[in-house]
Structure 1
């Protein structure tokens, strides 16, 4: 190892990096692997020792303002310019092996998307020659404000952890990380939201304030750090890995679809994992992927896509995602909690949402996530539940379900949260996937549908992608509620900016089963 290499950026700031060199004779055809991280250079997240042990030359760099690197850390904002400068610098070094691959997960994956498309288009001679991306996406704004709802637990929790990284002493940080974070739990309930960072860290956190101040994803703050538009410009081979319970799953699969539409489908693995899972084969599959492309190693996959079918607990090798043969099947929400393929005759279902006692989050994507039994949750008065008859044969869900709900609220702003569950014969109601959509918010004003003559709006709510088998005799369950706090910050109901809203409005919500387009769910079914 060579520690503390100083890599100059275009503005003169130097970023620190460590170089891992394989012991003995290196395989000359293998690429130099570049890993850029805000979490330090010595943790297990970089996988640098294992990559070097497999024969790769590996450079691990601390992002600006982290791990001793110069400058100020501004999440996402500087990764493109710093990443491009780093790639140019790597190719001038005497230890450079002739090609470059990028590697990493979560934020480490975002740093790859930040440079790849732009450099492939504008600077192909210095662009990465392959990308290995795990549980990540090209636009963190979209997950921060998911269809108008603020991802409170993830955003404030991550900001809290990054603040802890600034504390002196690894033992202090480790001790705090093992304890229940009571201060964070209390901060989730603070209103206005702009006071939450002070409650948890003792001071405002600059980027957290920026996130809250920009509810509109069309703001320049977000558009200049989004790299979704440049994904189709990536010409290098790409390997993607993700999990059905990962926080970035929908967007990562849309990035896959962008490259597939451009004629360059990536290799893809989707397993029964959450964002922090240690079961993902990302490291081993990345090494195999890179050795196939650069060293002529034999292929290790019979098909480009490998996906785990939940409910059946088995893997499938597929030519593409979603798999060929998938078609939408429409199910309607009926009065008295029925879910059926028949069109309803009218009526409505109502419930009351109280932001002072918000509907709690139960399960869903995240760290240590997976299917959760919703039986007790479904007995809440602020959760409307719909169930199909027992299925006469197995049904396989494969893709991104879309709910279209005719909805109205007595509040100026409201959220619609939809969850699909697999209802077992013994009564268990196990979560499969879910999604949220806000109406009447600052960030949704430009896309909110107009109310009809009865005050209903038809809201389209894409749910998390899924690959799940509902067994014969099971039932499809659907929940409709108005929140999942603190996974998403509760909607106060006033329509005021989320950062400053402190007044709450108790609201009556109503789901219509009539009209030209009754409330329904389009399920992508694989046959």
Structure 2
């Protein structure tokens, strides 16, 4: 059952022992539906704590290798459950909608089993992490521990980041869970280019819900937003994520909510993007370390509460809280320049054509193209404005939260603003550091605040910083057609005339970078 290669990749400590597997446990839900689960348990011992993993991705080989076998072989009892409508479980899979009630029913059932000592913890990444936050605030008595990785307590604000529709992420994920393995690459790109958006992805109930409920005032997603309960969770929490994860902003909001409530969540942010193997392995190691301490009484590791990988600096930084201590420094951009001192901000006119939408490269997406990427081809387009600094005289460490303010006027008033900060190498490569997106509506003020993605990044001496401003980032975000019509049914496109008067970006300058 165990895979030696996975054991080596995980690098989990401790001696292994024999374990047993019970398959297809039938767990009743409150409406009579039964969900199936597999139990991985050490062969010897009486009642013990249970680590619950709830997943829509199947209970088979991958989950067994990453969470079942290696953990059970080291003394932790693990139950891997297929959520409603997946991997043999009854009912219909309706993403996010049933995880609270089904999670609570599962928790109650587990605590009644003779092999459970009453303590139940949870672990898992992405959707598996969401199922933890969908349960933890409502568990009574509380869970014993949580290990939510590369995830967040609500996915809605990631799907509609800045008020737009996250086209690529929502469509590809929705189609992937509706018909696994059938829709990839070029087929996806061709489909996403068609209008109206409701005419594509008809087999995915999730995608249809996304385009039908994109209005900021729509409360359709309110029942699956569990962020309000994060501060009430008293169980020890260890969170792992990566800098280019699609849920990074949301997960860090969860960290801050826990901190403000007086809790001490552990946070690690490593290199990589959402679906990379190295992130999955690191998340499993983090969970094992945390659960071994909380459930098995292993010595707590000597580490800071917050550990951050400094990109392009190849070292770990330690901190007591998120965000770490940094000095906010505002730089100004206009007329092609980016500088610490004010610069000329005369208006520059560009045109955004939804029939030829401004593309984007890299970034927080799911796929091999995720992460930092060279932006030169995009920056060369006539619909993109770039502002570049002089070469830096010394290394500059940016660690923490970033924000921008762009002065822009668009006609028509329905428009988007996409900003990106890049590291321009002496060779000319313009590599992504951070970005942000905002959807404008008629009556929006001239000054547009943009929340950008947090980072920990070293810009080396001799390199330059570059801010770019565009009217879109397709297909990461659905193009703005310029009419304000509902995303699900809109087909008419209007070309926009834009006046950009420069702006500013506030950078978190880290003063105390030291090897961890």
Taking structure 1 as the reference length, the TM-score comes to 0.89
Shift of 1:359: 0.8
2:77 to 50, 57, 77: 57
* Large movers: runs of 4+ above 3 Å: 23-26, 448-451
Shift of 1:97: 3.2
C-alpha contact 1:449 1:459 (8 A) present in aligned 2: no
Residue matched to 1:331: 331
Q: Distance in 2 between matches of 1:71 and 1:293?
A: 34
Residue matched to 2:412: 411
Deviations 1:284-323 (A, max 9, x none): 2211111122333222232111111012121122222221
Q: Is 2:443 the partner of 1:466? A: no
Residue matched to 1:214: 213
Q: Distance in 2 between matches of 1:508 and 1:31?
A: 61
Q: Distance in 1 between matches of 2:49 and 2:114?
A: 14
The 1:301/1:152 distance shift into structure 2, 3 A limit, reads farther
C-alpha contact 2:413 2:443 (8 A) present in aligned 1: no
Q: Distance in 2 between matches of 1:60 and 1:293?
A: 20
Deviations 1:459-498 (A, max 9, x none): 1111111001111221111110011111111111111111
The 1:68/1:499 distance shift into structure 2, 3 A limit, reads same
Taking structure 2 as the reference length, the TM-score comes to 0.91
Range 427-436 or range 294-303, more displaced: 294-303
Q: Distance in 2 between matches of 1:521 and 1:300?
A: 38
C-alpha contact 2:104 2:135 (8 A) present in aligned 1: yes
Q: Is 2:511 the partner of 1:522? A: no
Superposed counterparts of 1:21-420, under 5 Å: 21-25=41-45, 31-45=49-63, 47-119=67-139, 123=140, 125=141, 127-165=142-180, 173=181, 176=182, 181-198=185-202, 204-280=203-279, 281-324=282-325, 326-335=326-335, 337-367=336-366, 368=368, 369-420=370-421
Deviations 1:128-171 (A, max 9, x none): 11000110011111111111111111111011111224xxxxxx
Give the RMSD, CA atoms, in angstroms: 1.7
Shift of 1:258: 0.7
Q: Distance in 1 between matches of 2:304 and 2:188?
A: 44
Q: Distance in 1 between matches of 2:61 and 2:104?
A: 24
Shift of 1:350: 2.3
C-alpha contact 1:401 1:463 (8 A) present in aligned 2: yes
C-alpha contact 2:124 2:147 (8 A) present in aligned 1: yes
Structure 1: tracts of 5 or more residues without a match: 166-172, 199-203, 441-447, 452-456, 514-518
1:487 to 476, 479, 482: 476
Length, aligned pairs only: 485
Residue matched to 1:443: none
C-alpha contact 2:337 2:343 (8 A) present in aligned 1: no
Structure 2: tracts of 5 or more residues without a match: 1-20, 512-516
Q: Distance in 2 between matches of 1:438 and 1:43?
A: 42
The 1:345/1:360 distance shift into structure 2, 3 A limit, reads closer
C-alpha contact 1:142 1:217 (8 A) present in aligned 2: no
Q: Distance in 1 between matches of 2:118 and 2:204?
A: 41
Shift of 1:25: 4.2
